[in-house]
């Protein structure tokens, strides 16, 4: 196997990975390892925007308060404080670098409103293409750096290390079939979420949680995976992929109607359609269940059509391709798996319990998101903690780990169909048994099914397709076990057999390989 040495290895090329690589380049040579193209990530498809305090009528304290409310008691105060204070600095930094956020006729940055926010503080770029424009902007900065080396279509298959430390990554080059060994003083995991373990998801097909599975295998603690955020308004057309219809659409005044034409959110929450995502998604689920429907509608017919088509150009074009005029016709929507609220547990500098392993972005559990992510905080988290992780990683002295013997991974087309069949089978189990509303009977049934799959593919023989089956099964089991242990309803975790929040469960749930799950106290403001 060819060996390559760097100062920092970044796994993933979404906004968190790009931010981490950009800042890490100040301290040495950086490798970006990504299993697809550099511009394929959840970040690229983020429509809503990035939340930050830029207006004189807003304050970090208000942003912090909104985040804590959305997080339903599970946010770590110190992490949220870092996010809202340093987030403002990171956005100012981007503006200074020339990031083209949308502006009004006077040259002032336009600010949008989204669910759970008490002020207009959502910055946009390209209307409803903020993720794409922001990722594209930072990607240009990254590729200009002579000491950043991208490896596209190269999948990390193993974190190298032992005895609680990591010193590198084994990866498989899809084009050549070559196995590469990357060595560095630090590995920064920025591999994104896992929402593609569900049948219906707003995420690209790459969002399969590989990085979390690798971290789990390496002994990292995984936190709060029971909290899966389902986006309330994903396009629902039978036989078609779920396409995200941004929360910003409701921020501009769109209504949610059931199939009988009733605007149902008004009587459920004071903020109506702009209630936190968990509230809206649960309300839609209940309304569909009550009426025997598989969708509800978004209505914008009471708004200015020209403004709507301009503000949401990307969404408008996509819907038009499906024969829907978003300004005049009802848009059929239903919730879809969107965001992994938990992830690999880390401190405020992205450092995990495994020496040499750092994490940032959606793959991380920093304590910011709690039980339900506040809209448009995710891109901000990528910027803030991507920088923090890279700076802390640069201070790390080379880890003295004993090298382990390595077996090359192969990519056999013989197992591709097996992977697709098992992936779809597990996605169906997760969607039907561990979706928006859960109960013990269904989850235990799912658990037994998934345990059987995991046992069957535990010995994957170093074939990449079979490894993916094992990783998917591991992730599904982590979600299932966490959901069974949390006997309450809170944020993105709703149980019909335990419908109320229970103060006894105001704790983070940690899972670690070969150890019993444990509960960890939330860090409140008074926490020292």
As a dihedral over the C-alpha atoms of residue 461, residue 467, residue 471, residue 476, rounded to 10 degrees, the angle is: -90
Question: Residue 204 falls within a domain, yes or no?
Answer: no
pLDDT for the residue 250: 92
- Domain of 418, in residue numbers: 413-502
- 277 tagged catalytic: yes
Query: What is the CATH classification number for the domain harbouring 261?
Result: 3.90.700.10
Q: Under DSSP, is residue 9 helix (H, G, I), strand (E, B) or coil?
A: strand
Q: Report in angstroms the alpha-carbon separations of 179 from 43, 102, 470.
A: 28, 44, 20
Answer for the pair 500, 493: CB distance below 8 angstroms, yes or no.
Answer: no
pLDDT for the residue 71: 95
Phi then psi dihedrals of residue 287, to 5 deg: -65, -40
Per-residue pLDDT of the chain (528 residues; tens, 9 = 90+): 899 999 999 999 999 999 999 999 999 999 999 999 888 777 777 777 899 999 999 999 999 999 999 999 999 999 999 999 999 999 999 999 999 999 999 999 999 988 889 999 999 998 888 889 999 999 999 999 999 999 999 999 999 988 789 999 999 999 999 999 999 999 999 999 999 999 999 988 889 999 999 999 999 999 999 999 999 999 999 989 899 998 889 989 999 999 999 999 998 999 999 998 889 999 999 999 999 999 999 999 999 999 999 999 999 999 999 999 999 999 999 999 998 999 999 999 999 999 999 999 999 999 999 999 998 999 999 999 999 999 999 999 876 776 778 899 999 888 999 999 999 999 999 999 999 999 999 999 999 999 999 999 988 789 999 999 999 999 999 999 999 999 999 999 999 999 999 999 999 999 999 999 999 999 998 644
Find the distance separating the first CA and the last CA of the chain, reported in whole Å: 47
| Pairing of the two strands 228-235 and 50-51 | unpaired
Residue 188 zone, left/alpha/beta (φ > 0; ψ -120 to 50; rest): beta
497 vs 440: CA distance, rounded Å: 7
Number of domains the chain is built from: 2
Instruction: Tell me which of 338, 365, 380 is where a domain ends.
Output: 338
Strand partners, 343: 223
- Tell me, rounded to whole angstroms, the distance of Cα 277 from its chain centroid: 14
Q: Identify whether residues 328 and 420 lie together within a single domain.
A: no
Question: Residue 166 falls within a domain, yes or no?
Answer: no
Max Cα–Cα distance, the chain, nearest Å: 66
Question: Residue 468 falls within a domain, yes or no?
Answer: yes
Residue 72 zone, left/alpha/beta (φ > 0; ψ -120 to 50; rest): left
Q: Which is nearest to 16 in space by CA: 95, 157, 134, 140?
A: 134
Q: Identify whether residues 418 and 334 lie together within a single domain.
A: no
Structural tokens at position 84 = 């809202």
Q: Under DSSP, is residue 80 helix (H, G, I), strand (E, B) or coil?
A: helix
Question: Residue 481 falls within a domain, yes or no?
Answer: yes
Question: Residue 498 falls within a domain, yes or no?
Answer: yes
522 vs 221: CA distance, rounded Å: 16
Instruction: Indicate which residue of 29, 90, 250, 277 is catalytic.
Output: 277
Burial (Cβ within 10 Å: 0-12, 13-18, ≥19) of residue 525: exposed
Question: Residue 275 falls within a domain, yes or no?
Answer: yes
CB atoms within 10 A of CB 446: 23
Phi then psi dihedrals of residue 448, to 5 deg: -60, -40
Instruction: Tell me which of 338, 370, 405 is where a domain ends.
Output: 338
Q: Identify whether residues 334 and 427 lie together within a single domain.
A: no
pTM of the entire predicted model: 0.93
Instruction: Tell me which of 338, 366, 388 is where a domain ends.
Output: 338
Question: Residue 215 falls within a domain, yes or no?
Answer: no
Question: Residue 309 falls within a domain, yes or no?
Answer: yes
384 vs 173: CA distance, rounded Å: 30
Answer for the pair 297, 332: CB distance below 8 angstroms, yes or no.
Answer: yes
Query: What is the CATH classification number for the domain harbouring 491?
Result: 1.20.58.100
């Amino acid at each position: 196997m060819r060996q390559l040495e760097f100062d920092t290895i970044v796994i993933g090329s979404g906004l968190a990975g790009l931010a981490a690589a950009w800042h890490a380049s100040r301290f040495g040579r950086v490798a970006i390892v990504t299993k697809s193209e550099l511009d394929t990530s959840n970040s690229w498809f983020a429509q809503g925007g990035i939340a930050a305090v830029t207006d004189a009528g807003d304050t970090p304290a208000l942003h912090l308060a909104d985040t804590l409310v959305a997080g339903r008691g599970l946010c770590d105060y110190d992490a949220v404080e870092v996010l809202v204070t340093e987030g403002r600095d990171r956005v100012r930094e981007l503006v200074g670098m020339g990031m083209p956020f949308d502006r009004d006729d006077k040259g002032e940055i336009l600010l949008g409103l989204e669910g759970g926010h008490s002020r207009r503080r959502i910055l946009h770029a390209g209307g409803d293409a903020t993720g794409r424009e922001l990722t594209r902007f930072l990607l240009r900065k990254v590729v200009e750096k002579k000491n950043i080396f991208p490896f596209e279509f190269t999948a990390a298959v193993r974190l190298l290390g032992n005895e609680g430390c990591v010193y590198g990554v084994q990866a498989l080059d899809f084009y050549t079939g070559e196995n590469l060994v990357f060595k560095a003083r630090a590995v920064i995991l920025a591999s994104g979420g896992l929402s593609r373990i569900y049948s219906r998801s707003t995420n690209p097909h790459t969002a399969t949680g590989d990085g979390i599975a690798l971290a789990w295998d390496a002994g990292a603690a995984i936190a709060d995976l029971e909290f899966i955020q389902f986006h309330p308004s994903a396009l629902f057309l039978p036989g078609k992929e779920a396409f995200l219809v941004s929360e910003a659409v409701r921020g501009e005044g769109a209504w949610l109607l059931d199939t009988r034409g009733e605007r149902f959110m008004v009587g459920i929450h004071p903020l109506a359609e702009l209630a936190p995502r968990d509230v809206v998604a649960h309300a839609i689920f209940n309304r569909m269940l009550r009426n025997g429907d598989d969708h509800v509608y978004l209505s914008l017919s009471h708004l200015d059509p020209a403004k709507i088509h301009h503000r949401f150009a990307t969404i408008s074009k996509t819907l038009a391709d499906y024969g829907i005029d978003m300004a005049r016709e009802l848009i059929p929507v239903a919730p879809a798996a969107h965001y992994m609220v938990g992830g690999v547990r880390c401190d405020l500098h992205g450092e995990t319990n495994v020496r040499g392993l750092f994490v940032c972005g959606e793959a991380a559990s920093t304590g910011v998101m709690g039980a339900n992510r506040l809209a448009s905080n995710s891109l901000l988290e990528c910027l803030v903690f991507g920088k923090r992780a890279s700076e802390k990683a640069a201070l790390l002295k080379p880890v003295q780990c004993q090298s382990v013997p390595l077996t090359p991974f192969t990519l056999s087309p013989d197992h591709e169909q097996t992977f697709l069949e098992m992936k779809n089978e597990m996605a169906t189990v997760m969607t039907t048994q561990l979706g928006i509303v859960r109960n013990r009977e269904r989850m235990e049934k799912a658990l037994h099914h998934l345990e059987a799959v995991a046992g069957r593919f535990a010995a994957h023989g170093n074939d990449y397709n079979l490894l993916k089956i094992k990783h998917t099964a591991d992730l599904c089991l982590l979600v299932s076990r966490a959901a069974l242990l949390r006997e309450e309803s809170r944020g993105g975790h709703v149980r019909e057999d335990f419908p109320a929040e229970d103060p006894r469960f105001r704790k983070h749930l940690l899972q670690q390989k070969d150890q019993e799950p444990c509960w960890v106290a939330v860090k409140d403001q008074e926490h020292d």
